[in-house]
Every structure is written in C-alpha cells, then in structure tokens.
Chain A
C-alpha cells in the first residue's frame, strides 16, 4: 500500500501496519469521547451547582434573591446585596470601558500611523494578559490610596451634592472596584472593536471621505454603522468578563453586605463573597447558600452568553444583505 510514505518524518515512528479501520475506530472513539466530555462538563456544572444549592433553594425560596439579610450566625441568607453589587460594579465598569474602548479602537484604526498603532495595540493586548490578582494587588496597595488621596476628595468637591459621592473617601469601595474592573475589561473590548473597525471595507470609507466628510463623520456614519453588530458583540464579551471577575474586585471592594447609595461605601459582589467566605463556611446551609450564589452568577453569565450568540447568529444571517 502506498499509504505509509506520504508523510515525511513520522512514517518511521508510528506503526503503519495498523489497518485503516482500527486506527480510524480509535480516532473516532477518542474525538467522540472528548466531545462527550465537553457536553458532560456543561451539564455537570448546572447539575452540581443546582444539586448542591438545593437545600438553600428549598429553605429560602424566592426570598433568597429579594432579601438583604446575610447572617451566617443565624443561618439566614439573602443574596440581594451581592446581586446588586455585581450589577453596580459591572455598570460602572461598562460605563467607563465601552466609550474608552470605542475611542481607542477609533484611534488605532483611523488615526494612528501603523508605526504607532501597532505597539499601542500590542500594549493594550498585554493589559489583557496581566492576571487579575496583579490588578488586585495594584488596586489595593497603589490605586485605592491614590483614589482616597486625590480622586475621591476631588469628586466630592465638585459633585458632593450627589448621594453617590457621600461618606469618607477610603479608597476601597464600589467605585474603585468598578474602575479597576473597567481597566480589566477595556483591553478585551478594545481588541474586538479594533478588529471590527478594520473589517470595514476601505472603499466605503473612501466614498464618504470623497463626499467631504471629516474623519469623525466617517467613523460615526460609516464605520460604526457598518460594524455595529460587532461592537455589540464586543460589549457582550466585556460584560461576561466583568460580571464574573473575582480577584481584582475582592481586593478593593471592601466586602460588606450592606447596600449603599454611595459608591464610596464598601460593598460586595457574588464572586467576591465566594472568594472571601467559602473556605470559612462550615455549616452545610452556609455552604449551600454560597453555592446558590454561584448558581445565580452562572445563570447571569449564561444569559449574557446566550444573548451574545443569538445576536451573532442573527447578524450573520443578515450579513448577506450588505450594509
């Protein structure tokens, strides 16, 4: 048979006496097994989280997500402060990161000479590679004191009449957590948005320039509109990251189970509560309630994922229609 010698280097190493069916049977079995493992994992996560949080689900019912009481001593658990904290920190992060990402992507694609845009783009991608615990260390020991000394007093001076900026400027708290979160998701969103902007055909842009548009007008009227669905995809990506980010937030959020209007106050997120309390929890009901918190977070990311994929599938179908 001529099959054995068409791959140059590995022909000697593997036994080519193996008949076609046998090798292919093993091959089919292994790849199927691996694919099965993926399905098993996905189902396993749902089942194990739901199963282990069942005692808490039965005991607290719907009050788990509407109550703010988090009292391990009395075994009373309500997740509202964690859910609210997760949402608030995510909203702060997205409110800062999305506009910044759009404008940085605009700079990288439309304005900067390749000599500048390549290294800048590279630096921003490196920001994405920095592990979250590093952001946590930097946030706790460098950024939080900086916030307490400069940013927070300044905000209080100018916007002190707003309830969001009340209370002593401690550095740690919801606002600092949101800003660090923004810094962490910024590179992810920017990288995707840059790719989206780059995919806009230059003919379309040049046509607009030919009509006398300024760079901003081309970006607003052509690039952003052309790549709008991609931009939304980038936002979903950042959202998924921000909701579940653990270490960076745990270091700076202050870990309090009170809900406060002031963004200077300490708070907590689902992920930070898990990171802080899980290893200390001994009571079965406490552990069960923490796992139910995890289930809530999982469902949040699942909804974001499903929305994102539905959006991508929808726009891919429409893509044939052009602009």
Chain B
C-alpha cells in the first residue's frame, strides 16, 4: 500500500502537503503558459499577413504581390451558415423529442445513447462518412458535402444541449400551460424552449465556434479551391484546409498566409466562445 510509504510524522506530512501544493501551482501556471505561448505566437506571426488585400484578394501562386484569402473566408462562412441551418433545427427537434415527447421511454434512452456515441465520433470519421454518402455517389467533391459534414458534427451537440437544458425547466410551467388548454406544440415552443433559451443559445454558439474551426471533416468533402465559391456543387475554398495546404508547402509566403488565416480563425472562434459564455453568465446571475 502506498499509504504506508508516506510520512506519518507531522513535519513530514506538512512538507509533503506544501510540496504538492507547490506542484499544483506550477502545473496550473504551465497550462496558462502554454495558452499564452500559443496565443502570442499565432498573433505575432499572423498579424503580418493581415491587411486589406487579405480580405479582398483571391489566393495566388507563391511570389505574387497582391494575395488574399477572400474566397476561403467566403467559403468558410457559407459552409458554416448552411451547417447551422441544417444542423441546429434538427438538433433542437431531436432534443425536444428526448425531453418533451418521449421522456423516460426506452426509445429515448436508445437515442440518447446514439447521440453520445455520435458526439464521440472523431470529426475525420464524419468526413469519411459524408464522403461515402455524398461525394462518391455524386462523383464530385462539394461545398454542400462539407456543410453537411459540419452539420452532422453540430447535430448531436445541439441535441444534447437541448435535452440537458429542457430537463431543467420545472414541470409546473408545462402543467400550468397544459391546464389552460394550450396545445402541446405551443407549450414546447412558447413556454419550455423560451424558458431554456439562454442555455440553449450558449450551447448553439459553442457548437458554431467549434465547427467553424474544423478541418478534418472538410478534407475529403469540400476539398479546397482557389476560386470564389459560385456553386455549392463544386470543391469549395475554405480557411482551414487552406491553412493545412499552405503550412505543408515549402513557400515562405504561403506559410505566412497560413499564419494569417490561423489568426483570423482563432480570433473568431475565441470571440464567439467568450461571447457565448459571457452572455450565459449575465443572464443566469
């Protein structure tokens, strides 16, 4: 037993206590140090690439004077928006099903299990799955497939948040509304969902933040492109795959652009995250 190896006299116990306390302070500082290091490096290296052209010009071969990532920015926004439009309603509705329609049934437990499994599926596997159902049959990499794979990643997160938040709504609210003769669907949409609005908004925003920085599911669905997206049925330019391609290239100016794109992605993701958390705290106080 390890217990017997530890000092039993008061001084030894105190020394051990103090040293572990010191260690825990050091470990926490280490965590913060790495966060600071990453933020600092990305900011320092990325800021040089960001100028007006970065937002307005198209990607160009290495060596060109005016280069930008306008097409990738548009593509990422486009796919994220479509993912939200597809993933959020389906996620909310299935969360409603779990909490309001089928609460406590075996079916609900089975679906809850599926949702937990889906949440644990690595995003690259989601990309692979969408490749087999959308890219292979259509014979075409497409922004549509990319958006769908992002939606598939969002869906279980939103469903789980909805389920968790709706359970917190007191039953008295539902019962009083039902007692007044309100139809079930209006109880859900006008009373229950409204009561859980803050928590759900936070959950949805966090899901959006996560999805907008995803790379792996886009690698074999939307692929990448240097052109401004014109149709969703063709390979679609996006920031994260561009970062991957540029970073792996031997050209210094492409790597520079990759840092710029990283900074842009990092700032957007972190600000959505911080905003979502701040909004949640404000309301619950």
Chain A residues in contact with chain B, CB under 8 A?
1-3, 6-7, 10, 18, 20, 23-24, 26-28, 30-35, 37-39, 41-42, 44-45, 48-49, 51-52, 100, 103-104, 106-108, 111-112, 120, 122-127, 129-138, 140-142, 183, 186-187, 190, 214-217, 240, 243-247, 250-251, 271, 274-275, 278-279, 291, 294, 297-298, 301-302, 304-306, 309
18 other contacts beyond A37-B94, A138-B38, with CB at 8 A cut-off?
A31-B93, A39-B114, A48-B132, A48-B133, A111-B21, A125-B277, A131-B210, A214-B13, A214-B16, A216-B17, A243-B122, A246-B216, A274-B124, A278-B131, A291-B132, A294-B124, A297-B124, A301-B122
Of the candidates A35, A275, A302, A306, the one having the most CB atoms from chain B within 10 angstroms of its own CB is A35
The CA-CA distance from A201 to B24 in the complex, in Å, is 22
Ordered by A's residue number, 15 sampled pairs between the chains whose C-beta atoms are within 8 Å are A31-B94, A33-B93, A48-B129, A123-B32, A127-B35, A130-B269, A131-B213, A137-B258, A190-B31, A214-B16, A217-B17, A275-B216, A279-B223, A297-B122, A301-B122
Among B51-59, B62-70, B183-191, which stretch is in contact with chain A?
B183-191
The CA-CA distance from A104 to B45 in the complex, in Å, is 30
Question: Contacting A35 at CB < 8 Å: which of B97, B136, B184?
Answer: B97
Is the beta-carbon distance between A133 and B27 smaller than 8 angstroms?
no
Is the beta-carbon distance between B93 and A30 smaller than 8 angstroms?
yes
Given A7-B190, A271-B124: A215 and B21 interface contact (C-beta under 8 Å):
yes
Among B77-85, B196-204, B226-234, B259-267, which stretch is in contact with chain A?
B259-267
Which range contains the number of B residues in contact with the other chain? Answer: 35 or more
B157 near A: Cβ within 8 Å? no
Q: Chain A interface secondary structure, helix, strand, loop or mixed? A: helix
B25 near A: Cβ within 8 Å? yes
Is the beta-carbon distance between A107 and B25 smaller than 8 angstroms?
yes
Across the interface, which residues of B come within 8 angstroms of A38, CB to CB? Answer: 94, 111, 114-115, 118, 155-156, 159
Measured between C-beta atoms, what is the minimum distance from A299 to chain B in Å? 10
Measured between C-beta atoms, what is the minimum distance from B202 to chain A in Å? 13
Question: Contacting A3 at CB < 8 Å: which of B180, B258, B262?
Answer: B180
B48 near A: Cβ within 8 Å? no
A-B CB proximity, top 6 nearest: A244-B122, A131-B213, A27-B185, A34-B93, A107-B24, A214-B17
Is the beta-carbon distance between B215 and A131 smaller than 8 angstroms?
yes
Across the interface, which residues of A come within 8 angstroms of B223, CB to CB? Answer: 279
Across the interface, which residues of B come within 8 angstroms of A297, CB to CB? Answer: 122, 124-125
The CA-CA distance from A275 to B136 in the complex, in Å, is 17
User: Which chain B residues in 122-139 approach chain A with CB under 8 Å?
Assistant: 122-126, 128-129, 131-133, 136
Across the interface, which residues of B come within 8 angstroms of A10, CB to CB? Answer: 190
Across the interface, which residues of B come within 8 angstroms of A31, CB to CB? Answer: 93-94, 96-97, 100-101
Given A45-B125, A103-B23, A131-B213: A126 and B111 interface contact (C-beta under 8 Å):
no
Of the candidates B132, B136, B214, B273, the one having the most CB atoms from chain A within 10 angstroms of its own CB is B132
Measured between C-beta atoms, what is the minimum distance from B228 to chain A in Å? 22
The CA-CA distance from A137 to B53 in the complex, in Å, is 22
Across the interface, which residues of B come within 8 angstroms of A44, CB to CB? Answer: 129, 133
Across the interface, which residues of B come within 8 angstroms of A136, CB to CB? Answer: 244, 247
Across the interface, which residues of A come within 8 angstroms of B175, CB to CB? Answer: none
Is the beta-carbon distance between B31 and A133 smaller than 8 angstroms?
no
Across the interface, which residues of A come within 8 angstroms of B258, CB to CB? Answer: 137
Is the beta-carbon distance between B111 and A217 smaller than 8 angstroms?
no
Across the interface, which residues of A come within 8 angstroms of B177, CB to CB? Answer: 6
Across the interface, which residues of B come within 8 angstroms of A250, CB to CB? Answer: 244
Is the beta-carbon distance between B247 and A111 smaller than 8 angstroms?
no
Across the interface, which residues of B come within 8 angstroms of A186, CB to CB? Answer: 31
The CA-CA distance from A244 to B183 in the complex, in Å, is 44
Given A131-B266, A275-B219: A3 and B38 interface contact (C-beta under 8 Å):
no
Is the beta-carbon distance between A275 and B188 smaller than 8 angstroms?
no
B60 near A: Cβ within 8 Å? no
Across the interface, which residues of B come within 8 angstroms of A294, CB to CB? Answer: 124-125, 128
Closest B residue to A7 using CB positions: B190
B161 near A: Cβ within 8 Å? no
Mark B231-265 against chain A: 1 for CB-CB distance below 8 A, else 0: 00000000010011001000000010011001001
User: Which chain B residues in 100-155 approach chain A with CB under 8 Å?
Assistant: 100-102, 107, 110-111, 113-118, 120-126, 128-129, 131-133, 136, 152, 155
Closest A residue to B129 using CB positions: A45
Is the beta-carbon distance between A134 and B213 smaller than 8 angstroms?
yes
B209 near A: Cβ within 8 Å? yes
Across the interface, which residues of B come within 8 angstroms of A120, CB to CB? Answer: 28, 31-32
The CA-CA distance from A140 to B35 in the complex, in Å, is 16
